[in-house]
Amino acid sequence: MVTAAQTLLTDLDALVPAHLELYKDLHSHPELSFQEHRTSGIVADRLRELGYEVTTDIGPTGLVGVLRNGEGPTVLSRADMDALPVLEESGLPYASTVTAMDTEGREVPVMHACGHDMHVTCLLAAAQLLAEHRETWSGTFIALFQPAEEVGTGAASMVEGGLATAIPTPDVALGQHVMGLPHDTVASRPGPAMSAADSIRITVHGRGTHGSMPHTGIDAVLLASSIVVRLQGIVARELAPGQFGVVTVGSLHAGSKSNVIPARATLLLNLRSYDDATRAQLRAAVERIVRAECEASGSPTPPDIEYTDPFPLTDNSPEVHARVSAAFTEHFGDKATPMEPSTGSEDFSDIPRALGAPYLYWIWGGFDPETYHRAEAEGTLNSTIPGNHASTFVPVAEPTLRTGASAMTVAVLAYLAKGA
């Protein structure tokens, strides 16, 4: 029996060349978070050409396309659009040479170093297949293109920008991400799939003085260093063995001259967890340690603790996973594999959570299988396959595009195919 997915995907070969050109164009023209005006415009034009009802300027550069096709479920699929302030070193003919102004007014290089250009292209390909084969499915399909995933606020901005009134309420939401796996592999899991994350800016206060007279001041460098060391005990000594948590100090800045003891120091932290209880435990431990070290150092004022760039836990619905993973197995065979929980984070789940919809977020690969498996056997994966956000993270364009477009189409039709 030929499935609806097989019927649609027979046309994928014809779509690939044009979508490869689109992908390379998007890769060459990356845009930072909330600056995705060109990308959003291209997507909106393509969706309109396919007959979608398009609503733009949601959040502020997000957009949605709605395709109604009779009675049936409503399925939402999401792709993120933003790039990163990374200097591309891939050496590809379509490598980015773009620069842009960041939120602090600095000119920075810009690169699609996390594959969001591939996400956009794959969702557009799936959207075209669905538009051109309405006889195979019934219901409503929503293609959502989200800004600013990299800063963790893009999904929330679309919710706050009126997303719920711009679209029919979805019965299920779907999302995917290209990763450092073989490009023929699709992986999914129920339950926690991507960690919750918090970034914290902490400023501690001392009393500045001359480097030759440390006894007359309160050394903010020593204070900050004591905090860094003490924070390492949270995961090692406060979380139970097997309880996942990460506490990273990514930046420590204090002072500007060797013979001046500075009056303040700033630390930038990142926390990761798989459940709300651990997240609260990590936050409380960080704040306790920071305040205690400030007290121990005789800090003249309390520390400033500011939480930024929050990412929610991605907690996949077991029911949605069961249905979609069965469809993946039927289509991809043994290349549909279980996904290990990722320590990375995503804001996708803010959308289905706000809309009251169950969801599934899966990953697929973007790199040559032979190279991957050889590196795996030699124990050199980390040095051979670039990680997301690296200056060389560029998926093999094809067949990564084909796999991603197929995965999204198969997942959508698990709900919308006639007789599903």
Active site residues per annotation: 82, 149
Q: 3-state DSSP call for residue 74?
A: strand
Q: 3-state DSSP call for residue 303?
A: coil
174-196 exposure pattern, b = at least 16 Cβ within 10 A, e = fewer: bbbbbbbbbbbbbbbbbebbbbb
Continuous H helices in 304-396: 318-332, 350-355, 369-378, 381-384
Cα-atom radius of gyration of the chain, to the nearest Å? Answer: 24
Residue 214 neighbours by CB under 8 Å, 6+ apart: 261
> CB of 155 within 8 A of CB of 149?
yes
Cβ-based neighbour number of residue 201 at 10 Å:
15
- Give the CB-side neighbour count of residue 13, counting CA atoms within 13 A: 3
What is the C-alpha to C-alpha distance for residues 72 and 74, in angstroms, rounded to an integer?
A: 7
